[in-house]
């Protein structure tokens, strides 16, 4: 990783052997130069000469024997939970959450621990090729401070729950704290978008769910929620409200285009139809779901339906790493083995989820997730000069099935 001044203060030219643009119909280019000025892509073409990069302080990045591609988008994580990596492994989700994680958070979380936990998470993400993240947790003011310090882009959401929580000891004030967080951070940073994260339909009341969505819609911001993550959650909602979780949120006015629904493991076709109809985005977290034995998200079906899909690692307490390359590989293979069909959730579709799809989910389409004229220069360079990355028959297949975060040379 370079310790030089931030990219938006430099003019850059990247010489690419292989350029993976993630632009429809022209995903891969060869022997290409990318010109960057003030953090934006100003031209893409076969020549290194360009008037916008003829200034004295132009730097050439030689990416021969490499693959250049958009930075990855981790569409769901809890960055500060890196401090709980390995704390409670091989446990059922409910026991893991209520007997280990919630007590650990109550005992150990503070603004200081969240700051350094988030910093550790951001360093891991950057070093493994993630340039944009979506986070939901507590003490999020310091998470934003950490993100701004390292220069990573993200959607940072204040956690909302109807229990005493770190920084919010009185749950009756959870929406007041949420409102203050949005007011404090909206429009203050080119890198960070504030948001709200309701933990789940079973840990947030109807008042909390509707109130959080009202705040987000009034400010044109996304709201995040864990949805249909476990059978227990689905059964609880059905028994209490005589409807499945997506319909429950729909009747509350919460299932709409502003909502980012995470996990979505236990969905029936009628649930997916409703999600598609409402324009709700979904984030798939396969490794976390596997480790906690929550089940398998029908991601292949939702991609086929045209639902906006992103990919996320979840937090290090339930995944143990923040490597989005590993997440892509797991997502593709899990879908295939579950469907008994090697053709479902192809490498191209998974890579879209981790780049341009994630950008769409977070409301950043047309800014990041693809390499094209006018986009922000969130770009990574993957070193192909590795035994496990040769030969390269199909760059997309190589990225999804062979690459890991340690192969990232430059961000």
Residue 351 pLDDT exceeds 60: yes
pLDDT (tens digit per residue) in 177-199? 999 999 999 999 999 999 999 99
Residue 224 pLDDT exceeds 50: yes
pTM for this model (two decimals):
0.95
pLDDT at 48: 77
* Span 149-166, average pLDDT: 96
pLDDT at 93: 79
Say which residue, 92 or 219, is predicted with more confidence: 219
pLDDT at 2: 38
**% residues pLDDT > 70 (the chain):** 96
pLDDT at 9: 55
Residue 54 pLDDT exceeds 80: no
Tracing tokens 């593709």 back to the chain, one arrives at 332
* Span 398-407, average pLDDT: 98
Q: What is the CA radius of gyration of the chain?
A: 21
* Span 85-109, average pLDDT: 90
Going by their DSSP bridges, the two strands 72-77 and 130-137 should be labelled as parallel
* Span 259-287, average pLDDT: 98
User: pLDDT category, 97, cuts 50, 70, 90?
Assistant: confident
Q: How far is CA 219 from CA 213, 364, 408, in A?
A: 10, 16, 36
pLDDT (tens digit per residue) in 278-291? 999 999 999 999 99
Phi then psi for residue 66, to 5 deg, are -135, 170
Q: How far is CA 398 from CA 21, 66, 199, 223, 251, in A?
A: 15, 12, 36, 34, 44
User: pLDDT category, 95, cuts 50, 70, 90?
Assistant: confident
pLDDT at 122: 98
Mean pLDDT of the chain: 94
Question: How far is residue 181's CA from residue 184's CA, in Å, rounded to a whole number?
Answer: 5
* Span 121-127, average pLDDT: 98
pLDDT at 65: 96
pLDDT at 92: 83
């Amino acid at each position: 990783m370079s310790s030089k001044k931030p990219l938006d203060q430099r003019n850059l030219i990247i010489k690419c052997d292989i350029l993976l643009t993630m632009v429809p119909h022209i995903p891969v280019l060869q022997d290409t130069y990318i010109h960057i000025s003030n953090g934006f892509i100003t031209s893409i073409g076969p020549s290194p000469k360009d008037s916008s990069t003829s200034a004295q302080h132009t730097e050439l990045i030689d990416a021969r024997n490499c693959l250049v591609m958009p930075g990855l988008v981790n569409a769901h994580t809890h960055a500060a939970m890196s401090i709980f990596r390995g704390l409670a492994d091989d446990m059922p989700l409910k026991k893991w959450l209520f007997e280990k994680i919630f007590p650990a958070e109550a005992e150990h979380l503070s603004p200081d621990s969240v700051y350094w936990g988030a910093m550790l998470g951001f360093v891991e993400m950057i070093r493994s090729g993630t340039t944009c993240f979506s986070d939901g947790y507590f003490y999020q003011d310091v998470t934003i401070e950490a993100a701004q310090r390292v220069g990573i882009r993200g959607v940072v959401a204040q956690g909302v729950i109807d229990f005493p929580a770190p920084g919010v000891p009185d749950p009756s004030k959870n929406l007041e704290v949420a409102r203050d967080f949005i007011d404090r951070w909206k429009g203050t940073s080119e890198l960070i978008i504030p948001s709200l994260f309701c933990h789940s339909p079973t840990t947030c009341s109807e008042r909390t769910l509707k109130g959080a969505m009202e705040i987000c819609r009034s400010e044109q911001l996304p709201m995040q929620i864990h949805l249909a993550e476990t059978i227990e959650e689905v059964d609880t909602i059905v028994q209490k409200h005589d409807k499945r979780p997506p319909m429950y949120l729909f009747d509350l006015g919460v299932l709409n285009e502003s909502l980012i629904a995470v996990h979505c493991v236990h969905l029936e076709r009628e649930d997916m139809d409703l999600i598609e109809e409402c324009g709700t985005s979904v984030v798939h977290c396969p490794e976390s779901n596997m480790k906690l034995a929550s089940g398998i998200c029908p991601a292949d079906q939702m991609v086929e339906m045209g639902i906006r899909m992103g990919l996320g690692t979840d937090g290090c307490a339930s995944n143990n790493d923040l490597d989005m390359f590993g997440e892509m590989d797991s997502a593709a293979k899990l879908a295939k083995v579950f469907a008994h069909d090697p053709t479902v959730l192809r490498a191209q579709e998974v890579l879209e989820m981790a780049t341009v799809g994630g950008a769409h989910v977070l409301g950043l389409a047309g800014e990041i997730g693809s390499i094209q004229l006018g986009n922000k220069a969130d770009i990574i360079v993957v070193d192909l000069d590795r035994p496990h990355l040769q030969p390269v028959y199909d760059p997309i297949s190589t990225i999804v099935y062979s690459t890991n975060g340690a192969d990232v040379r430059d961000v």
